[in-house]
A and B are shown apart, each in its own frame.
Chain A
Amino acid sequence: MSTIVPDKKNAVGAATGARNLAIYLAACLFVGFGLFPLYMMITTSLKTDQQTFAWPPVWLFTPRFQSYYNALFVFGGRSADHYLFNSLVVTLSSSALAVFLGAMAAYGLARFRFRGNRDVAFYILSTRFAPPVGFIVPIYLMVQRSGLLDTQIALIVVYTSMNLSFVTWILRGFFLEIPIEIEEAALVDGYTRWQIFLRVALPLVRPGLAATAILSAIFSWNEFLFASILAPGDAATIPVYLAGFSASMNIDWGEYMAVGTMAVLPIMIFTLALQRHLVRGLTFGAVR
Chain B
Amino acid sequence: MAGIYFRDIYKSFGTSRLFEGLSLACPDRKYLCLLGPSGCGKTTLMRIVAGLTEPDSGEVLIGDKRVNGLPPASRNIGLAFQNYALYPHLSVAGNLAFPLRAPIRRGRYRQAEIEERVKRVAALLRIDQLLHRRVNQLSGGQQQRVALGRALIHDPGVLLLDEPVTHLDARLRYEMRAEIKLLHDRIGTTTIHVTHDQQEALAMGDLIAVMRNGRIEQLGAPLELYHEPATAFVAGFIGDPPMSLVHARLAQENGNTIVQVAGSSLSLSEALAAQANMAPSREIIVGLRPKQVALVERPEAGAVATTVYSHGRVGREQQLVLTFGRDEVHCRTSSAIHVTTGDKVWLSISLDGAKLFDAASGRALAHT
Binary B-proximity of A178-194 (CB < 8 A = 1, otherwise 0): 01011011111111100
B81 within 8 A of A: yes
- The tally of residues in B whose CB lies under 8 Å from a CB in A reads 29
Q: What's the Cα separation between A283 and B89 when bound, in Å?
A: 8
Q: Do residues A190 and B99 form an inter-chain contact, with CB atoms below 8 A?
A: yes
Nearest Cβ distance between residue B358 and chain A, in whole angstroms? 41
For A, the interface residue count at a CB cutoff of 8 angstroms equals 24
Q: Given A204-B89, A284-B136, check contact A190 B103 (CB 8 Å).
A: yes
Query: Cβ of A170 < 8 Å from any Cβ of B?
Result: no
The reply to whether A189 and B98 form a contact with Cβ atoms under 8 Å apart is: yes
B residues 72-113 in Cβ contact with A at 8 Å = 72-73, 77-79, 81, 83-89, 98-99, 102-105
Between A188, A200, A285, the greatest number of chain B beta carbons within 10 A of the residue's beta carbon is seen for A188
Let me know if B83 and A288 touch, CB within 8 A: yes
* Interface contact A189-B102, CB-CB below 8 Å: yes
Q: Is B71 an interface residue (CB 8 A)?
A: yes
The reply on A278 being an interface residue by CB < 8 A is no
Q: Is the CB of A181 within 8 A of B83?
A: yes
> Across the interface, do A287 and B83 meet the contact criterion of CB distance under 8 Å?
yes
- Asked if A191 and B73 sit within 8 Å, CB to CB, the answer is yes
**Residues of chain B lying within 8 A (CB to CB) of residue A286:** 84-88, 135-136
Given known contacts A284-B136, A285-B136, A188 and B79 CB-to-CB distance under 8 angstroms? yes
Return A271 CB to nearest CB of chain B, in Å.
23
| Contact, CB under 8 Å: B81 / A185 | yes
Among candidates B51, B83, B103, B167, residue contacting A191 with C-beta atoms closer than 8 Å: B103
A182→B85 contact, CB < 8 A = yes
Cβ contacts under 8 Å, B83 to chain A: 179, 181, 287-288
Contacts of A288 in B (CB 8 A): 83-84, 140, 167
Do B140 and A189 have beta carbons less than 8 Å apart? Answer: no
Q: Tell me whether B150 is interfacial, beta carbon within 8 Å.
A: yes
Interface 0/1 of A3-31, CB less than 8 Å to B: 00000000000000000000000000000
A204 to B89, alpha carbons, bound, how many Å? 7
A266 within 8 A of B: no
A127 CB-CB contact with B under 8 Å:
no
Q: How far is the CA of A181 from the CA of B52 in the complex (A)?
A: 10
Whether, in the assembled complex, B50 has its beta carbon less than 8 Å from a beta carbon of chain A, the answer is yes
Contacts of B89 in A (CB 8 A): 200, 203-204, 206, 282
Q: Which residues of B contact A184 (CB under 8 A)?
A: 52, 72, 79, 81, 85
* Contact code string A221-251 (vs B, CB < 8 Å = 1, else 0): 0000000000000000000000000000000
A190–B52 CB distance below 8 A: no
Is A195 an interface residue when CB atoms closer than 8 A count as contact?
A: yes
Given the known interface contacts A179-B85, A287-B84, the answer about A186 and B71 at a Cβ–Cβ threshold of 8 Å is: no
CB-based contact A188/B50 at 8 Å = yes
With contacts A282-B89, A283-B88 taken as known, whether A187 is within 8 angstroms of B140 at the C-beta atoms is no
Instruction: Annotate A192-222 by CB proximity to B: 1 below 8 A, 0 otherwise.
Output: 1001000010011010000000000000000
Name 19 interchain pairs, CB-CB below 8 A, sorted by A: A179-B85, A181-B85, A184-B72, A184-B79, A184-B81, A185-B79, A185-B87, A187-B71, A188-B50, A188-B78, A189-B73, A189-B102, A190-B104, A191-B102, A206-B89, A284-B88, A286-B86, A287-B83, A288-B83
Identify the B interface with A (CB < 8 A). Answer: 50-52, 71-73, 77-79, 81, 83-89, 98-99, 102-105, 135-136, 140, 150, 154, 167
20 more contacts with CB within 8 A, not counting A179-B83, A182-B87, A186-B87, are A181-B85, A184-B81, A184-B85, A185-B81, A187-B72, A188-B51, A188-B78, A189-B99, A190-B104, A190-B154, A203-B89, A282-B89, A283-B88, A284-B88, A284-B136, A286-B88, A286-B135, A286-B136, A287-B86, A288-B83
